[in-house]
């Protein structure tokens, strides 16, 4: 019997086009996964509220990972066995891996006061500013602000960012580069969260082939932990040079176009 394929995918600038947030180019591949009954798990730096919005848009009913691996949400009746490390939260079982947002905000404010005033996070920005930096509508920007474990921020120069990085390490925190922002988070990453779900799926299906698709530095840990990893091009037509390792597959297209290519190629190679 063929192994079940499970796909873990980033959203921003991968499945969603960088500027328009459109997934139209990927739709044929999303539909095909749906027809074949292959789970598509979103693994994103977005908040739970934002991810729920995109799940609904794409009629996705699978578990999802938010805020760079800080929490895993599993629909309550999804796996037919108990998950002791998970807590019931509305219609989900939630596994928490992240550091509370309040602690991240305290650290960022410390950096602004003691390292550089140019460091500014979502918590310092008005809704209008977030809208202009992200290109999101007011409704979506409001969902993006509902942060629980990860603070997107900007810093003026690389030199300043490096100082903040060093300070974060001392505080047991981490900074990852996303497609738009730097992200301050605790000791979580997408890889740790994907590994937990991989193990749950393996328990459920016996054996799986895990796939990862991403575009940037915050996807690296996820891409390294799956059986087959695909990197799509960023909106400028280049690959993120921070993501490189042996066995990584390079999709030819930008964002959702690369995503569609990757899925079609993969299914062909695996004989589906």
255-269 helix and 27-36 helix, angle to the nearest 10 degrees? 40
Q: Which is nearer to Mg ion, 29 or 232 (CB)?
A: 232
What are the helix (H) ranges across the chain?
Answer: 27-36, 48-57, 101-114, 127-134, 138-144, 158-170, 190-205, 220-225, 255-269
CB of 35 to Mg ion, least distance (A): 26
Interacting residue with Mg ion among 8, 9, 12, 23 (CB under 5 A)? 12
Q: Which is nearer to Mg ion, 86 or 220 (CB)?
A: 220
Q: Which is nearer to Mg ion, 98 or 214 (CB)?
A: 214
For 98, the enclosing helix (H) or strand (E) is none
Establish whether 158 is a catalytic residue. Answer: no
13 binds Mg ion per the rule CB under 5 A: yes
CB atoms within 10 A of CB 95: 20
10 binds Mg ion per the rule CB under 5 A: yes
Helix (H, G, I), strand (E, B) or coil at 154: strand
Q: Which is nearer to Mg ion, 52 or 215 (CB)?
A: 215
Query: Residues 166-195 vs Mg ion: string with x where CB under 5 A?
Result: -------------x----------------
The residues near 108 (Cβ < 8 Å, ≥ 6 apart) are: 119, 121, 123, 124, 151, 153, 184
Q: Is the distance from CB of 120 to CB of 151 less than 8 angstroms?
A: no
Query: Residues 124-163 vs Mg ion: string with x where CB under 5 A?
Result: ----------------------------------------
The residues near 182 (Cβ < 8 Å, ≥ 6 apart) are: 152, 153, 154, 155, 161, 175, 176
Give the interface segment with Mg ion, choosing from 5-13, 22-30, 121-129, 195-203 (CB under 5 A): 5-13
CB of 185 to Mg ion, least distance (A): 15
Q: Which residues inside 208-227 make contact with Mg ion, applying CB under 5 A?
A: 215-216
**Residues taking part in catalysis:** 10
Interface with Mg ion (CB under 5 A): 10, 12-14, 179, 215-216
């Amino acid at each position: 019997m063929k192994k079940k394929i499970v796909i873990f995918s980033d959203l921003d600038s991968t499945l969603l086009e960088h500027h328009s947030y459109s997934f139209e180019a990927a739709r044929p591949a999303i539909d095909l996964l749906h027809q074949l009954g292959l789970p598509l798990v979103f693994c994103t730096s977005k908040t739970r509220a934002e991810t729920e919005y995109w799940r609904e848009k794409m009629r996705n009913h699978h578990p999802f990972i938010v805020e760079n691996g800080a929490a895993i949400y599993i629909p309550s009746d999804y796996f037919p066995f108990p998950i002791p490390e998970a807590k019931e939260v509305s219609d989900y079982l939630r596994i928490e891996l992240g550091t509370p947002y309040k602690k991240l905000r305290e650290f960022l404010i410390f950096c602004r006061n003691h390292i550089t005033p140019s460091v500014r996070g979502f918590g310092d920005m008005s809704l209008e500013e977030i809208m202009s930096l992200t290109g999101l509508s007011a409704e979506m920007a409001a969902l993006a602000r509902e942060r629980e474990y990860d603070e997107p921020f900007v810093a003026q120069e690389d030199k300043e960012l490096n100082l903040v990085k060093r300070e974060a390490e001392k505080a047991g925190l981490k900074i990852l580069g996303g497609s738009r922002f730097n992200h301050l988070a605790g000791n979580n990453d997408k890889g740790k969260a994907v590994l937990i779900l991989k193990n749950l799926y393996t328990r459920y299906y016996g054996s799986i082939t895990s796939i990862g698709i991403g575009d940037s530095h915050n996807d690296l840990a996820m891409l390294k932990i799956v059986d087959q990893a695909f990197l799509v091009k960023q909106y400028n037509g280049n690959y993120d040079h921070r993501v490189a390792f042996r066995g990584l597959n390079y999709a030819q297209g930008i964002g959702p176009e690369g995503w569609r290519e990757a899925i079609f190629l993969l299914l062909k190679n695996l004989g589906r």
